[in-house]
Amino acid sequence: MFNQNSQNSIYLSRIGSIFRQGLVHPWPYLVVRIALAALFIYGGVTKLFDPKAFAATISAYDLVPEAFLPVIAIGLPLIETIAGAALVFDHPWGLHLITGLLALFVFVLGYGILGDLNVDCGCFGVEDLNKQAGLRQAFYRDLVLIGIVTPYLYLSRWVRSAATARESEGG
Protein backbone atom coordinates (compact mmCIF):
# COMPACT_ATOMS: atom_id res chain seq x y z
CA MET A 1 0.00 0.00 0.00
CA PHE A 2 2.74 2.42 0.99
CA ASN A 3 4.77 1.55 -2.11
CA GLN A 4 1.77 2.26 -4.39
CA ASN A 5 1.14 5.64 -2.72
CA SER A 6 4.79 6.65 -3.02
CA GLN A 7 4.82 5.67 -6.71
CA ASN A 8 1.65 7.72 -7.30
CA SER A 9 3.28 10.62 -5.49
CA ILE A 10 6.39 10.38 -7.66
CA TYR A 11 4.24 10.13 -10.80
CA LEU A 12 2.19 13.19 -9.82
CA SER A 13 5.36 15.05 -8.95
CA ARG A 14 6.78 14.35 -12.41
CA ILE A 15 3.55 15.50 -14.09
CA GLY A 16 3.58 18.66 -11.98
CA SER A 17 7.21 19.29 -12.93
CA ILE A 18 6.45 18.86 -16.64
CA PHE A 19 3.43 21.17 -16.34
CA ARG A 20 5.45 23.81 -14.48
CA GLN A 21 8.25 23.53 -17.03
CA GLY A 22 5.73 24.09 -19.83
CA LEU A 23 4.53 27.23 -18.09
CA VAL A 24 7.96 28.58 -17.19
CA HIS A 25 9.87 27.68 -20.36
CA PRO A 26 9.81 30.61 -22.81
CA TRP A 27 9.49 28.59 -26.04
CA PRO A 28 5.94 27.21 -25.68
CA TYR A 29 4.79 30.62 -24.46
CA LEU A 30 6.45 32.30 -27.44
CA VAL A 31 5.00 29.87 -30.00
CA VAL A 32 1.45 30.07 -28.62
CA ARG A 33 1.64 33.86 -28.26
CA ILE A 34 2.92 34.39 -31.81
CA ALA A 35 0.37 31.95 -33.27
CA LEU A 36 -2.51 33.77 -31.56
CA ALA A 37 -1.10 37.14 -32.60
CA ALA A 38 -0.73 35.97 -36.21
CA LEU A 39 -4.34 34.75 -36.22
CA PHE A 40 -5.58 38.17 -35.12
CA ILE A 41 -3.29 40.12 -37.45
CA TYR A 42 -4.35 37.95 -40.39
CA GLY A 43 -8.05 38.28 -39.53
CA GLY A 44 -7.80 42.04 -39.06
CA VAL A 45 -5.79 42.75 -42.20
CA THR A 46 -8.01 40.53 -44.35
CA LYS A 47 -11.10 42.47 -43.28
CA LEU A 48 -9.35 45.82 -43.75
CA PHE A 49 -8.85 44.99 -47.44
CA ASP A 50 -12.63 44.89 -48.01
CA PRO A 51 -14.45 46.91 -45.32
CA LYS A 52 -17.64 47.16 -47.40
CA ALA A 53 -17.99 43.38 -47.55
CA PHE A 54 -17.23 43.12 -43.84
CA ALA A 55 -19.86 45.81 -43.13
CA ALA A 56 -22.37 43.69 -45.06
CA THR A 57 -21.47 40.67 -42.92
CA ILE A 58 -21.85 42.70 -39.73
CA SER A 59 -25.18 44.03 -40.98
CA ALA A 60 -26.49 40.47 -41.43
CA TYR A 61 -26.22 39.95 -37.66
CA ASP A 62 -28.49 42.98 -37.14
CA LEU A 63 -26.67 43.98 -33.94
CA VAL A 64 -25.19 47.30 -35.08
CA PRO A 65 -27.20 50.31 -36.27
CA GLU A 66 -26.59 51.08 -39.96
CA ALA A 67 -25.04 54.46 -39.11
CA PHE A 68 -22.24 52.77 -37.16
CA LEU A 69 -21.44 50.05 -39.71
CA PRO A 70 -18.59 51.93 -41.45
CA VAL A 71 -16.95 52.75 -38.12
CA ILE A 72 -17.22 49.14 -36.89
CA ALA A 73 -16.19 47.67 -40.26
CA ILE A 74 -12.92 49.60 -40.15
CA GLY A 75 -12.43 49.98 -36.39
CA LEU A 76 -12.86 46.35 -35.36
CA PRO A 77 -10.30 44.94 -37.85
CA LEU A 78 -7.94 47.76 -36.92
CA ILE A 79 -8.27 46.88 -33.23
CA GLU A 80 -7.70 43.18 -34.05
CA THR A 81 -4.54 44.05 -35.97
CA ILE A 82 -3.22 46.34 -33.24
CA ALA A 83 -3.99 43.76 -30.53
CA GLY A 84 -2.15 41.08 -32.53
CA ALA A 85 0.86 43.35 -33.01
CA ALA A 86 0.88 44.19 -29.29
CA LEU A 87 0.85 40.48 -28.50
CA VAL A 88 3.79 39.90 -30.84
CA PHE A 89 5.75 42.41 -28.75
CA ASP A 90 4.39 40.86 -25.52
CA HIS A 91 2.57 43.94 -24.26
CA PRO A 92 0.15 42.82 -21.53
CA TRP A 93 -2.64 45.04 -22.86
CA GLY A 94 -2.47 43.15 -26.18
CA LEU A 95 -3.48 39.92 -24.42
CA HIS A 96 -6.20 41.76 -22.48
CA LEU A 97 -7.54 43.24 -25.70
CA ILE A 98 -7.50 39.88 -27.49
CA THR A 99 -9.31 38.26 -24.57
CA GLY A 100 -11.98 40.97 -24.74
CA LEU A 101 -12.31 40.56 -28.50
CA LEU A 102 -12.66 36.80 -28.14
CA ALA A 103 -15.42 37.31 -25.56
CA LEU A 104 -17.19 39.63 -28.01
CA PHE A 105 -16.77 37.15 -30.86
CA VAL A 106 -18.12 34.25 -28.76
CA PHE A 107 -21.14 36.38 -27.86
CA VAL A 108 -21.84 37.41 -31.47
CA LEU A 109 -21.28 33.93 -32.88
CA GLY A 110 -23.49 32.45 -30.14
CA TYR A 111 -26.16 34.99 -31.04
CA GLY A 112 -25.91 33.94 -34.68
CA ILE A 113 -26.18 30.26 -33.81
CA LEU A 114 -29.11 30.71 -31.40
CA GLY A 115 -30.86 32.99 -33.89
CA ASP A 116 -30.28 30.35 -36.58
CA LEU A 117 -28.78 33.04 -38.80
CA ASN A 118 -27.59 31.88 -42.18
CA VAL A 119 -24.58 34.20 -42.41
CA ASP A 120 -20.83 33.88 -42.72
CA CYS A 121 -18.94 34.33 -39.49
CA GLY A 122 -16.85 37.12 -41.04
CA CYS A 123 -13.79 36.02 -39.07
CA PHE A 124 -11.27 36.15 -41.92
CA GLY A 125 -13.13 38.21 -44.48
CA VAL A 126 -16.32 37.37 -46.28
CA GLU A 127 -17.43 33.87 -47.11
CA ASP A 128 -14.54 32.19 -45.35
CA LEU A 129 -16.78 29.51 -43.91
CA ASN A 130 -20.06 27.99 -45.03
CA LYS A 131 -22.81 29.91 -43.26
CA GLN A 132 -24.46 28.22 -40.21
CA ALA A 133 -21.91 25.37 -40.04
CA GLY A 134 -19.19 28.00 -40.23
CA LEU A 135 -20.71 29.89 -37.31
CA ARG A 136 -20.53 26.77 -35.18
CA GLN A 137 -16.95 26.05 -36.25
CA ALA A 138 -15.86 29.61 -35.47
CA PHE A 139 -17.78 29.54 -32.16
CA TYR A 140 -16.00 26.37 -31.00
CA ARG A 141 -12.63 27.66 -32.21
CA ASP A 142 -13.09 30.89 -30.25
CA LEU A 143 -14.23 28.95 -27.17
CA VAL A 144 -10.97 26.98 -27.29
CA LEU A 145 -8.99 30.19 -27.71
CA ILE A 146 -10.71 31.94 -24.79
CA GLY A 147 -10.96 28.83 -22.60
CA ILE A 148 -7.54 27.25 -23.08
CA VAL A 149 -5.10 29.43 -25.04
CA THR A 150 -5.58 32.78 -23.30
CA PRO A 151 -5.61 31.23 -19.79
CA TYR A 152 -2.37 29.42 -20.71
CA LEU A 153 -0.79 32.73 -21.75
CA TYR A 154 -1.98 34.51 -18.58
CA LEU A 155 -0.87 31.64 -16.33
CA SER A 156 2.48 31.28 -18.08
CA ARG A 157 3.13 35.00 -17.79
CA TRP A 158 2.18 34.94 -14.10
CA VAL A 159 4.32 31.87 -13.28
CA ARG A 160 7.33 33.28 -15.13
CA SER A 161 7.02 36.69 -13.43
CA ALA A 162 6.68 35.01 -10.02
CA ALA A 163 9.79 32.91 -10.74
CA THR A 164 11.69 36.03 -11.79
CA ALA A 165 10.59 37.81 -8.62
CA ARG A 166 11.77 34.88 -6.47
CA GLU A 167 15.13 34.85 -8.26
CA SER A 168 15.62 38.57 -7.76
CA GLU A 169 14.77 38.29 -4.06
CA GLY A 170 17.08 35.32 -3.55
CA GLY A 171 19.92 36.57 -5.73
pLDDT of residue 35: 95
**Arithmetic mean of pLDDT, 1-27:** 64
pLDDT of residue 117: 84
Calculate Rg over the CA atoms of the chain. Answer: 20
Confidence band, pLDDT 50/70/90 cuts, at residue 170:
low
CA–CA gap between residue 136 and residue 37 (Å, rounded): 22
pLDDT in tens, 117-130: 888 777 876 555 46
**Arithmetic mean of pLDDT, 43-57:** 92
**Arithmetic mean of pLDDT, 124-137:** 68
pLDDT of residue 99: 95
Cβ-contact 146, 106 below 8 angstroms: yes
**Arithmetic mean of pLDDT, 42-63:** 92
pLDDT of residue 17: 64
